[in-house]
Amino acid sequence: MPVADYQTYCQMLDRAREGHFAYPAINVTSLSTANAVLKGLAESRSDGIIQVSTGGGAFASGASVKDMALGAISIAEHVHRAAARYPIHVALHTDHCQADKLDQLVIPLVEETERRRADGRPNLFNSHMFDGSALPLNENLDIAVKLLERFRQNELILEIETGVVGGEEDGVKGEAGAKLYTTPEDTLEVARRLNAVQGGRYLLAATFGNVHGVYKPGHVKLMPSILRDCQDAVVKQYGDAARFYLVFHGGSGSELRDIHAALDYGVVKMNIDTDTQYAYTRPIADHMFKNYDGVLKVDGEVGNKKAYDPRVYLGLAEAGMAERVKRAVTELRAAGTTMFKA
C-alpha cells in the first residue's frame, strides 16, 4: 500500500487510541533499515511509522554532503515506492528537531511537500516533530503554534515535546537535572494554545522519566501515571475532545508493564531506535566473527567473496532488525491491526 494519506493517518491514530495500542515508530538511516521496518510490519500485519532524525538524514545524504533534508527526502522517496509492494499502511515522520535545526530539516521538508501538493502529488512526509523541550514552555509553544498553523494548511501532523527525555540521541541531550516529568499544568497550557488552531492535529510527547538509550533493568524510573494525570486534567478542563494523542520516547529497553500502562493512558506512538540499531548490527558482527577468514584476506589468501559481499551480511542485518520490529508490534498490542484491505 502506498504511504498513508492524511485521512488514513488520522484514522490510524484514532484507532490506536480507542483500541489501547500503539504504532512502533522506527528510526531509519538507509534504504536497508527502511526495508527492514517494512518487512517487520508486513509480517506482523501492523501499520506503522518510519521516521528520520536530523542525524539520520545527514548520514543518508552521504558523508561528503551531510544534508539532513536531502537524506530524509531520499529515504522518503524510496519508502513511497517500496511501501506500495506491502499490504500495510505506513506513515513517514521526522524525529527530534530542535529550534536551531528547523531551517535545516523540517522547513525544507514542508516546502518540498508544498511543492508536491501544488503539482497534485501526495505529501512527502505525514508528520514532523519540533522538539522545543529545551526552551521555556511559552517559547516552545510560540514556535509550535506557528508550525501547526502552517501544517494544517498542508495536511501535516505536528509532534511536540514538553519536559525533557533524558540520555542522548543523535546529539540531542537531556541535561542532568532537566525536567524529566511533564506536569498537568504544562499539558493544560499545551491544550489551551494548540487547540486554538482550528483544524490542526498534533501529537504530544509528554515525559514521564523517559531516557534515550538502553539501560539495565531498574536504572530507569518510569512513571506512566503522569500520563493519566495529564489526560485527566485536560479532560476536566476542556472536555473529552481535548484528550491527547501521546508519544512514548526512549522506548528501547522499557519494561512491558510500563509500556502497557502508557498505552492505556493514551500513547499511540512509541519511538524505537537503540534496540533496532542493535538488532541490525548483531547479525553483522556474528557473520564477521564466524567468517573472519572469508571477509579478510588473511595470510596472503584472497578471502571469500560470498562472505564479504555486503548483500550477504546486510541481508542478515535486515532480517534481524525486522524480527525486532515484530517484537515491538507485539509488545505494543498492534499485531494484526492493519487497516489495509486487500
Helix axes 310-331 and 31-44, enclosed angle (nearest 10): 40
Q: Which long-range contacts (CB under 8 A, 24 or more apart) does 299-308 make?
A: none
pLDDT at 177 over 50: no
Specify the pairing of strand 202-206 against strand 172-174: unpaired
Does 174 or 50 have the greater pLDDT score?
50
Distances from the Cα of 52 to the Cα of 14, 26, 72, 92, 166, angstroms: 23, 8, 6, 8, 20
What residues pair up with 247 in beta bridges, in sequence order? 269
Positive or negative torsion for Cα 96, 99, 102, 103 = negative
pLDDT at 171 over 80: no
Average pLDDT estimate for 46-71: 98
Average pLDDT estimate for 281-297: 97
pLDDT at 172 over 60: no
Average pLDDT estimate for 32-40: 98
Decide: 227 and 266 in contact? Cβ < 8 Å. yes
Average pLDDT estimate for 102-123: 98
pLDDT at 129 over 80: yes
Residue 240 designated active-site: no
> Which position among 14, 47, 67, 95 bears the catalytic label?
95
Helix axes 106-118 and 137-152, enclosed angle (nearest 10): 10
What residues contact residue 79 under an 8 Å CB cut-off, 6+ apart? 3, 34, 38, 50, 90, 92
pLDDT at 178: 47
Give ∠ CA 145-91-77 in degrees, rounded to 5: 105
Q: What is the domain partition of the chain in residue ranges? A: 6-331
pLDDT at 165: 58
pLDDT at 215 over 70: no
Separation of alpha carbons 268 and 13, rounded Å: 6
pLDDT at 2: 81
pLDDT at 57 over 80: yes
What residues contact residue 107 under an 8 Å CB cut-off, 6+ apart? none
Q: Chain-wide mean pLDDT for the chain?
A: 93
Separation of alpha carbons 235 and 305, rounded Å: 62
Confidence of residue 219 (pLDDT cuts 50, 70, 90): low
Q: Per residue in 193-209, pLDDT tens?
A: 999 999 999 999 998 88
Separation of alpha carbons 97 and 144, rounded Å: 12
pLDDT at 181: 85
pLDDT at 174: 46
When computed from its CA atoms, the radius of gyration of the chain, rounded to whole angstroms, is 20
Q: Per residue in 135-145, pLDDT tens?
A: 999 999 999 99
Separation of alpha carbons 153 and 183, rounded Å: 30
Specify the pairing of strand 167-169 against strand 172-174: antiparallel
**Longest distance between any two alpha carbons in the chain, whole Å:** 75
Does 210 or 122 have the greater pLDDT score?
122
Give the architecture (CATH level 2) of 6-331: Alpha-Beta Barrel (3.20)
The single residue listed with the C-alpha cell 537503540 is 274
Count CB-CB contacts under 10 A for residue 4. 25
Separation of alpha carbons 342 and 338, rounded Å: 11
pLDDT at 17 over 80: yes
